[in-house]
Amino acid sequence: MFNNRIKIKQLLAEQPKGRQVTVMGWVRTFRNNQFIALNDGSANNNLQVVVELGQYPDEFLKRITTSAALKVTGVITESLGKGQSIELKATEIEILGDSDAEKYPLQPKKHSLEFLREIAHLRFRTNTFGAVFRIRHSLAFAVHQFFNDRGFIYLHTPIITASDAEGAGETFKVTTLPFDKTPRAENGTVDFSADFFGRPTNLTVSGQLEGELGATAFGDIYTFGPTFRAENSNTARHLAEFWMIEPEMAFYDLEDNTNLAEEFIQYIIKYAMEHNAEDLEFLRMRLLDEEKTKPQAERSELDLVQKLQFVTENKFERITYTEAIDILLQSPAYKKKKFQYDVKWGIDMQSEHERYLVEKHFKKPVIVTNYPKEIKAFYMRQNDDGKTVAAMDILAPGIGEIVGGSQREERYDKLVQRMEEMQVPAEELWWYLDTRRFGTVPHAGFGLGFERMVQFVTGMTNIRDVIAFPRTPKSAEF
């Protein structure tokens, strides 16, 4: 059997001194023709492989370059060098894959995140991205474990849909029609009857509407899949393709919804803290080094791990939208005209407003409820005041909104009326309205942008650095 290796993370944890083992990985550095720093991706820490002088010819040693792939067999011994407790004294080395040292773009030095985005196919090999993507994996696993333990059904909602759940129109169209000979109807519009699905379709912007169908049969469901927004926003906060977690729960009201969302966020963060302590410590130190370059006034009061502990150990602040606007209007930032965007009741709060509430005023995550109905989607339950809906957003330090949700409008007449007001075609959503015709119940749900959660936990400031291959305007490389 070729693959009888032991992973470096396991070796460093068990430290089986005197045992013969086989490891496989990639060379990080090779110094003095004697010491190889080998990494296999299981952890940021390398294993030092010691090559006995004169054991291999010079031509062979010249091939042990940065990123060359090796299979090494040897005996684990106590290390006399600094920085590691054990090392592997090699008895047999096989080069599985050569790497041209002069052409390999990841040299053993610090590279900017902007440069690494240009070689996203190789950036996983750096310590920073190794840590980020191991944490991303843990968070994804924790999502499934959280809902599974609570009896939720994992529902796979469609990637290709005929609906725009948000009603924003920022969708990627799906078609098999030729662009140079698109069939047209008599009035000049595209004749989609000749298309694959026989009607206009697009990539999903949300699995929520289909999720509600599942919730009205199973009680509690969740979706976790890719969503797409053709929003031409070339910022550090936006992606055209990202992953969403969207639970939908029958027999829930707005308070039930906020309670679940808070419990969910705290659970998955705790899971990452427990299973990725070394990766988080690496990212914590990385951020502290970054902070040293900032003026004292701009430095964070808490380091990365302290911030995560604070979120998991404290209840989130809960306020209404009206209370949030009052706080902003009374704030020194507003009075000194430091906000770029205006503040008044009825606005869709911008990131600067959300971050002020979280980072300056409350200094912890905030749940804002009961937003003006004019700035929210048609499916949100209308409150008795006639002005607001039973919506909720969770705002997090550093990034602003991380969760958006609501109690859904379960009353058929109210829902149809709201759809008419917002020009959402009821005839296209007949299947959605059926859930209000046949056994309607109070129900609620929320959506969490997975990349924003990964950003929050890792401390990465650009959302393009927490997804493997970011899709943004004018960028679909790799």
Return the closest-CA partner of residue 433 out of 417, 455, 421. Answer: 417
Equal fold, 8-109 vs 125-170+205-465: no
CA distance 184 to 177: 11
For residue 379, the 8-state DSSP code is T
pLDDT at position 165: 67
Cα distances from 237 to residues 126, 146, 166, in angstroms, run: 23, 26, 19
Q: What's the pLDDT score for residue 167? A: 58
Phi, psi of 311 (to 5 degrees): -70, -40
Q: How high is the pLDDT of residue 325?
A: 98
Q: Contact at 8 Å (CB) between 48 and 25?
A: no
pLDDT of residue 169: 60
pLDDT tens digits in sequence order for the chain, 478 residues long: 778 999 999 999 999 999 999 999 999 999 999 999 999 999 999 999 999 999 999 999 999 999 999 999 999 999 987 778 999 999 999 999 999 989 999 987 889 999 999 999 999 999 999 999 999 999 999 999 999 999 999 999 999 998 876 655 689 999 999 988 888 888 878 889 989 999 999 999 999 999 999 999 999 999 999 999 998 888 888 899 999 999 999 999 999 999 999 999 999 999 999 999 999 999 999 999 988 888 887 778 889 999 999 999 999 999 999 999 999 999 999 999 999 999 999 999 998 999 999 989 998 999 999 999 999 999 999 999 999 999 999 998 888 899 999 999 999 999 999 999 999 989 989 999 999 999 999 999 999 999 999 999 999 999 999 999 999 998 898 8
| Predicted local distance difference test score (pLDDT) of residue 300 | 81
Task: Label residue 402 exposed, middle or buried (CB < 10 Å: 0-12, 13-18, 19+).
Answer: buried
DSSP code of residue 91: E
Q: Give the pLDDT score at 188.
A: 78
pLDDT, residue 166, reads 63
Which pLDDT belongs to residue 478? Answer: 85
Q: Where are the domains of the chain?
A: 8-109, 125-170+205-465
Q: Count Cα atoms within 13 angstroms, Cβ side, for 222.
A: 22
Strand-pair partners of 224: 245
- Under DSSP, the state recorded for 125 is G
Q: Are 62 and 43 in contact (CB under 8 A)?
A: no
Assign domain 8-109 to a CATH class: mainly beta
Helix and strand counts by DSSP (H, E) for the chain? 14, 16
Amino acid 294: pLDDT:
83
The confidence score (pLDDT) of residue 417 equals 96
Sign of the dihedral through C-alpha 216, 265, 354, 229 = negative
Rounded to whole angstroms, the Cα distance separating 192 from 414 reads 32
pTM: 0.94
- For position 180, what pLDDT does the model report? 82
For residues 317, 321, 326 and 327, what is the CA-based torsion angle, rounded to 10 degrees?
30
CATH topology of domain 125-170+205-465: BirA Bifunctional Protein; domain 2 (3.30.930)
Structural tokens at position 213: 């169908």
d(C-alpha 167, C-alpha 30), whole Å: 56
Q: ∠ CA 131-95-469 to the nearest 5 degrees?
A: 35
